[in-house]
Structure 1
Amino acid sequence: MPNALTRRGVVVLSAVCLACLMFGLEISSVPTILPTLEKVLHADFKQLQWVMNAYTLAVTTVLMAVGALADRYGRKRVFLISIAVFGIASLICGVAADVRTLIVARFLQGMSGGALLICQIAVLSHAFQQGRERAIAWGWWGVIFGIGLGFGPIIGGGIVAVSSWEWVFLIHVLLALIAFLLTLTGVDESKDPLAGRLDIAGILTLSTGVFCIAFYITQGPDLGFTGTTGLVILSVSVASLIAFVIVEKVSARPMFDFSVFGIRPFSGAIIGSAAMNISFWPFMIYLPIWMQAGLGYDSVTAGLALLAYTVPTLVMPPFAERLSLRYQPGLVIPAGLFTIGVGFFLMRFGIVSAHPNWLTMLPGCLAAGIGLGIANTPVTNTTTGSVSSDRAGMASGIDMSARMVSLAVNIAIMGFILASGVAAYLRRALPELDASQIRPLAERISGGDSASIPGLTDPIVHEALATGFGWVALYGGIGVWIMAALSFLTFDAGISRKPKASETGQSQ
Structure 2
Amino acid sequence: MNRKAALLATVCLAALTINLDTTIVNVALPSLARELDAGTRDLLWVVDGYNLAFAALVLAMGSLSDRFGRRPALVVGLAAFATSSGLAALVDSVEALIALRVVMGMSAALIFPTTLSVIANAFTERRERATALGIWGAAVGMGVALGPISGGFLLEHFTWHSVFWALVPVGVIAIAMTLAFVPESRDPSVPPLDLLGLATSVAALGSLTWTIIEAPEHGWASVTTVTGFVVAGLLALVFVAVERAAEHPMLDVTLFLDRRFSAACASVTIAFFALFGFIFLITQFFQFLRDYSALGTGVRILPVAISIAVASVAGGQLAPRVGTKAVVGTGLALLGTAFLWISTLDVDVSYATTIVPQMVMMGLALGLITTPATESIMQVLPPARAGVGSAVNDATRELGGTLGVAVVGSLFSSLYGAKLVELLQGRLDPATLESARGSVGFTDALATQVPGVARAMEVAFMDGLSRGCLVIGLMCLAGSVLAWAVLPGTRYDPLGESELAVREVVGG
TM-score (norm: length of structure 2): 0.89
Q: Quick one: which of 49, 54, 69 aligns to 1:59?
A: 54
**What is the percent sequence identity of the aligned residues?**
26
Once the 2 structures are TM-superposed, how far is the Cα of residue 30 of structure 1 from its aligned partner?
Answer: 1.2
Q: Quick one: which of 471, 477, 491 aligns to 2:473?
A: 477
Q: For the Cα contact (< 8 Å) 2:261–2:376, is it kept in 1?
A: yes
The answer to whether 1:502 aligns with 2:495 is yes
Once the 2 structures are TM-superposed, how far is the Cα of residue 338 of structure 1 from its aligned partner?
Answer: 0.8
Deviates more, 1:143-152 or 1:204-213: 143-152
Q: Quick one: which of 146, 150, 153 aligns to 1:155?
A: 150
Q: Quick one: which of 438, 444, 452 aligns to 2:446?
A: 452
Q: How does 1:13-412 map to 2 (within 5 A)?
A: 13=8, 15-125=10-120, 141-184=136-179, 186-349=181-344, 351-352=345-346, 355=349, 357=351, 359-386=353-380, 392-412=386-406
Deviations 1:307-329 (A, max 9, x none): 12221111113332444244321
In 2, Cα distance between the equivalents of 1:16 and 1:405?
22
Once the 2 structures are TM-superposed, how far is the Cα of residue 249 of structure 1 from its aligned partner?
Answer: 0.7
Deviates more, 1:38-47 or 1:11-20: 11-20
Q: For the Cα contact (< 8 Å) 1:268–1:488, is it kept in 2?
A: no
Once the 2 structures are TM-superposed, how far is the Cα of residue 198 of structure 1 from its aligned partner?
Answer: 0.3
Once the 2 structures are TM-superposed, how far is the Cα of residue 170 of structure 1 from its aligned partner?
Answer: 0.7
Q: Quick one: which of 482, 488, 493 aligns to 1:486?
A: 482
Q: For the Cα contact (< 8 Å) 2:56–2:205, is it kept in 1?
A: no
Opposite residue 361 of structure 1, the aligned amino acid is I
- What SS class does the counterpart of residue 87 from structure 1 fall into? helix
Q: Partner of 1:414 in structure 2?
A: 408
In 1, Cα distance between the equivalents of 2:66 and 2:15?
20
Q: For the Cα contact (< 8 Å) 2:332–2:369, is it kept in 1?
A: yes
In 2, Cα distance between the equivalents of 1:252 and 1:138?
32
Deviations 1:239-286 (A, max 9, x none): 221111111111122222222222222222122111112222321122
Once the 2 structures are TM-superposed, how far is the Cα of residue 369 of structure 1 from its aligned partner?
Answer: 1.2
In 1, Cα distance between the equivalents of 2:179 and 2:381?
34
Deviations 1:199-222 (A, max 9, x none): 111111111111111111111232
- What SS class does the counterpart of residue 279 from structure 1 fall into? helix
Q: For the Cα contact (< 8 Å) 1:337–1:484, is it kept in 2?
A: yes
In 1, Cα distance between the equivalents of 2:100 and 2:453?
36
Deviates more, 1:98-107 or 1:221-230: 221-230
In 2, Cα distance between the equivalents of 1:322 and 1:122?
20
Q: For the Cα contact (< 8 Å) 1:150–1:313, is it kept in 2?
A: no
Q: For the Cα contact (< 8 Å) 1:280–1:340, is it kept in 2?
A: no
Deviates more, 1:319-328 or 1:101-110: 319-328
Opposite residue 477 of structure 1, the aligned amino acid is G
Deviates more, 1:384-393 or 1:296-305: 384-393
Q: 1:439 to 1:248 in 2, by over 3 A?
A: farther
Q: For the Cα contact (< 8 Å) 1:418–1:469, is it kept in 2?
A: yes
Once the 2 structures are TM-superposed, how far is the Cα of residue 302 of structure 1 from its aligned partner?
Answer: 1.0
In 1, Cα distance between the equivalents of 2:210 and 2:275?
21
Opposite residue 74 of structure 2, the aligned amino acid is F
In 2, Cα distance between the equivalents of 1:174 and 1:215?
33
In 2, Cα distance between the equivalents of 1:235 and 1:217?
12
In 1, Cα distance between the equivalents of 2:220 and 2:483?
31
Q: 1:75 to 1:268 in 2, by over 3 A?
A: closer
Opposite residue 385 of structure 1, the aligned amino acid is Q
TM-score (norm: length of structure 1): 0.89
In 2, Cα distance between the equivalents of 1:163 and 1:211?
34
Opposite residue 381 of structure 1, the aligned amino acid is E
In 2, Cα distance between the equivalents of 1:27 and 1:34?
11
Q: For the Cα contact (< 8 Å) 1:279–1:476, is it kept in 2?
A: yes
Once the 2 structures are TM-superposed, how far is the Cα of residue 181 of structure 1 from its aligned partner?
Answer: 3.5
Once the 2 structures are TM-superposed, how far is the Cα of residue 468 of structure 1 from its aligned partner?
Answer: 1.4
Once the 2 structures are TM-superposed, how far is the Cα of residue 403 of structure 1 from its aligned partner?
Answer: 1.8
In 2, Cα distance between the equivalents of 1:502 and 1:159?
51
- What SS class does the counterpart of residue 166 from structure 2 fall into? helix
Deviations 1:390-441 (A, max 9, x none): 6654333222212211221221111122122323432443343688876642
Q: For the Cα contact (< 8 Å) 2:304–2:360, is it kept in 1?
A: yes
- What SS class does the counterpart of residue 426 from structure 2 fall into? coil
In 2, Cα distance between the equivalents of 1:335 and 1:448?
41
- What SS class does the counterpart of residue 452 from structure 1 fall into? helix
Opposite residue 46 of structure 1, the aligned amino acid is R
Q: 1:489 to 1:466 in 2, by over 3 A?
A: same
In 2, Cα distance between the equivalents of 1:110 and 1:272?
22
- What SS class does the counterpart of residue 38 from structure 2 fall into? coil
Opposite residue 471 of structure 1, the aligned amino acid is R
Once the 2 structures are TM-superposed, how far is the Cα of residue 18 of structure 1 from its aligned partner?
Answer: 3.2
Opposite residue 285 of structure 1, the aligned amino acid is F
Once the 2 structures are TM-superposed, how far is the Cα of residue 380 of structure 1 from its aligned partner?
Answer: 0.8
In 2, Cα distance between the equivalents of 1:239 and 1:335?
35
Opposite residue 113 of structure 1, the aligned amino acid is A
Q: Quick one: which of 437, 442, 445 aligns to 2:437?
A: 442
Once the 2 structures are TM-superposed, how far is the Cα of residue 235 of structure 1 from its aligned partner?
Answer: 3.5
- What SS class does the counterpart of residue 83 from structure 2 fall into? helix
In 2, Cα distance between the equivalents of 1:407 and 1:18?
21
Opposite residue 406 of structure 1, the aligned amino acid is G
Deviates more, 1:387-396 or 1:364-373: 387-396
Deviations 1:44-93 (A, max 9, x none): 11111111101111111221112222233333333222122111100111
Once the 2 structures are TM-superposed, how far is the Cα of residue 305 of structure 1 from its aligned partner?
Answer: 1.2
Structure 1 unaligned spans of 5+: none
Once the 2 structures are TM-superposed, how far is the Cα of residue 107 of structure 1 from its aligned partner?
Answer: 0.5
Q: Partner of 1:468 in structure 2?
A: 464
- What SS class does the counterpart of residue 193 from structure 1 fall into? coil
Q: 1:484 to 1:442 in 2, by over 3 A?
A: farther
In 1, Cα distance between the equivalents of 2:191 and 2:483?
33
